[in-house]
Structure 1
């Protein structure tokens, strides 16, 4: 008899990942499918959400060609947070989904924040609502596309639309609900005050379930399309940052997480329900009994600055060779600074108009100095986020995940900029694996992490001291650049 297998789907911003693991988190199938979203106008990002469904179905078909369907016990789903899908009463999307990194609502944000500040129970939401938030995106559609808005029966987040098409259920989880700016963080439910303030229909909201809850099973139509006989349970799932934190062991250890994907994210877990003043408080609620919360902050450009610099500017895809030109003795010695907020900032400055910058260029500046500055810039930006959101207790180390974590040089930079060891788990540790873990929890009721190999990168005290001084200079420079960027209104 074949061992049980658990599947994860990750609906990412530029790719969809499909993975299958056993209870020991050993991968038995993994594949990534790249896709592109649309930018119909400057600052707009959107996509036909059925693109995700088509790719997810393609991935599942391929998976079932390699793995017997009767060994798959459940499917967990994760994905990009905030991205909003607008669904009619028949379950069809009424317009393209608006992505989390969309900036079309920046002009209307001040009015939205002012309205949220008018009530005591919604004041905290004024701090977190931003471009790309479901609240802002819904209001934009109502103002600019009233005919489409009138057709909306439910709004869903990206992963939840895929679940709808797999199971015919309209559900979300506490993570995606709590980051929507439509949620009451103090009472753990959709905010009645937001509903009243903005005159939203009560029926628009999907049901909220803990992340490991079985919400349905593959529909008969989907089973037929996949050529499988028995329906498979599907789990509520969670946003990608919660899923990454789960896979990295952050909930178990309480240590912070760095995620170097399309965006750069700092995730700080709290075993108790502690709401921070800075950062986005995300209700994890992996199970009904779970009270954990994470606070996250984001550098929106993230590891994307690496591919921007290499592919768009240097016009090379040889990442390894470019990084090999940067000698270790340059760490902490670079005269060039890079401001990484290339497409706005949401957590510390709430300014969608911020843009990146090189500072300190001279006639002696070389290609390798500018590239090192790009890599250091994200490290400084994430350190600034961490210091604004950190717990009272100092961390022992940072876990690191995401595509950018494949770079040994970048991890070394992070260890010395942050001044803490960096742990890179070498087994399954991405968001897609977190989705698979939720599938295990949903079927088995719990999950015990197996012992896994990890690569540790220790900070060098001499380099740390140099970076501490450079970080102080970075903070001074960033203050000036934020002023130049305006107030974002």
Structure 2
């Protein structure tokens, strides 16, 4: 039997999957690492820890592998997006990586808009200047650590540095490069114009490759440390969201992913680079060849439900909390919730907005509140779907992953609110599986990633929209969309009273 390895470099851990030619996960290893948060808004990690923990994880994987190590034909990667890793002329790390969830760069975002112009930035990069992206981090280092910046010869993203340490070859692939604010997304090349306008050297940008492209083989040192064969090919990989889409089969027009974790993501496949969403949703290069994806984000999706449970049902399981949701009618008996407990991202990039329960009265029971929270989260995700459809996208099939699949009432709710078929997969491995699929495709096991998805991914259950519920939810969604505008100013006036 032949195998590939998918390495998912997340924010809290690296997850390593050994996948056989049938798409079965035959072994899984996870190794954790810590965040470094020295000041409010700062979020960093030591890139050396990524390498050490990945090598340790691969070593554990190979210890228990009873096959021929030469049968592990390829390795590929999924990685946390946007994080800045600065390297000197010897390709040594100059400072801790500044991560995607670091928010220190508000002034640098303003600087980018001033230098480039909001419309021009959207034209080139398809995305607005947000604190999480990579370019603002580069400009922050340039402004606040000029001596260190002067030593920088290149920058990479987290998984790219990890891949470099495994192969000795340094590249960046398009799906991750799209999240830097330096890539011309349509033309798939670094933007000399942006580099010139913001005052950084274009030479800082590394060579670009496709996600399925072979970039090298594991070095003899890594082979010795892990037990891998030196013949094992290494493929570029993709950004975590792109790999999550691949690992969920989002590989053709009409296919969309809804992932409900702490935050929520709605991600839809794009076969072209010519749509204009005015920056209301993210628009990135896909890990699939010559494809793109659009993405909306709800900051507090599953987090809104876990917040409610921790405050009002401490000690209970989520299963118990949601037991009676199916007995509450559509609309939660006139109770509406907006999931802005930590602000919002799509379509309102607003750090000050906060959540609301609208329509409470003395007849409401806890089960009404629970359903209202679930409906509010789903309405927020539907904001992104509404934007997609407004711009001409057909969305008929949505693969649901994460916490939103743990309850069948919630899956039916998604079908009704999104007005689309909801698919639950038999096995959820997300970005790690997407990375393994890129390796399988790169190894030539399949003619396309879609063929790989057909072989690797199995559907467990489907949920179809119920027409009566769809019509009711359309009316409720219109009310939901009014709440942000009605409460925005009030929330801004309340800021001074928050802790």
Normalising by structure 1, we get a TM-score of 0.90
Contact 1:340–1:377 at 8 Å: present in 2 too? Answer: yes
Task: Indicate the residue corresponding to 2:57 in structure 1.
Answer: 59
Contact 2:217–2:230 at 8 Å: present in 1 too? Answer: no
Task: Indicate the residue corresponding to 2:25 in structure 1.
Answer: 27
Whole-Å Cα distance in 2 between the matches of residues 44 and 343 of structure 1?
17
Task: Indicate the residue corresponding to 2:183 in structure 1.
Answer: 183
Q: Confirm or deny that 1:327 pairs with 2:333.
A: no
CA offsets, 1:37-83, max 9 Å, x none?
Answer: 24333333222233322332232122212323222110110122222
Q: Give the superposition deviation at 1:399.
A: 1.2
Task: Indicate the residue corresponding to 1:195 in structure 2.
Answer: 195
**Cα RMSD (Å):** 2.7
Q: Confirm or deny that 1:115 pairs with 2:111.
A: no
Change (3 A) 1:350 1:388: same
Task: Indicate the residue corresponding to 2:416 in structure 1.
Answer: 416
Task: Indicate the residue corresponding to 2:367 in structure 1.
Answer: 368
Whole-Å Cα distance in 1 between the matches of residues 22 and 53 of structure 2?
27
Task: Indicate the residue corresponding to 1:103 in structure 2.
Answer: 103
Q: Give the superposition deviation at 1:33.
A: 4.1
State how many pairs are aligned. 483
Q: Give the superposition deviation at 1:458.
A: 2.1
User: SS of the counterpart of 1:256?
Assistant: strand
User: SS of the counterpart of 2:106?
Assistant: coil
Contact 1:98–1:132 at 8 Å: present in 2 too? Answer: no
Q: Confirm or deny that 1:472 pairs with 2:446.
A: no
Q: Give the superposition deviation at 1:126.
A: 8.2
In structure 2, which of residues 1, 11, 14 is the aligned counterpart of residue 13 of structure 1?
11
Q: Higher mean Cα deviation, 108-117 or 207-216?
A: 108-117
Q: Which runs of 5+ in 2 are unaligned?
A: none
User: SS of the counterpart of 2:325?
Assistant: coil
Q: Give the superposition deviation at 1:122.
A: 6.5
Contact 1:157–1:176 at 8 Å: present in 2 too? Answer: yes
Whole-Å Cα distance in 1 between the matches of residues 385 and 290 of structure 2?
22
Q: Higher mean Cα deviation, 345-354 or 262-271?
A: 345-354
Whole-Å Cα distance in 1 between the matches of residues 145 and 368 of structure 2?
47
Task: Indicate the residue corresponding to 1:284 in structure 2.
Answer: 286
Task: Indicate the residue corresponding to 1:220 in structure 2.
Answer: 220
Q: Higher mean Cα deviation, 314-323 or 199-208?
A: 314-323
Contact 2:254–2:396 at 8 Å: present in 1 too? Answer: no
Contact 1:268–1:294 at 8 Å: present in 2 too? Answer: yes
Change (3 A) 1:299 1:271: same
Q: Give the superposition deviation at 1:139.
A: 1.1
User: SS of the counterpart of 2:269?
Assistant: strand
Q: Higher mean Cα deviation, 398-407 or 134-143?
A: 398-407
Q: Give the superposition deviation at 1:215.
A: 0.9
Q: Write the mapping of 1:89-488 to structure 2, written as runs, cut at 5 A.
A: 89-117=89-117, 120=120, 123-125=123-125, 127-252=127-252, 254-277=254-277, 278-284=280-286, 286=288, 290-311=289-310, 314-316=313-315, 318-390=317-389, 392-427=392-427, 430-444=430-444, 446-447=447-448, 448=451, 449-450=454-455, 452-484=458-490
Task: Indicate the residue corresponding to 2:35 in structure 1.
Answer: 37
Whole-Å Cα distance in 1 between the matches of residues 424 and 204 of structure 2?
41
Contact 1:211–1:285 at 8 Å: present in 2 too? Answer: yes
User: SS of the counterpart of 1:75?
Assistant: strand
Q: Which runs of 5+ in 1 are unaligned?
A: none
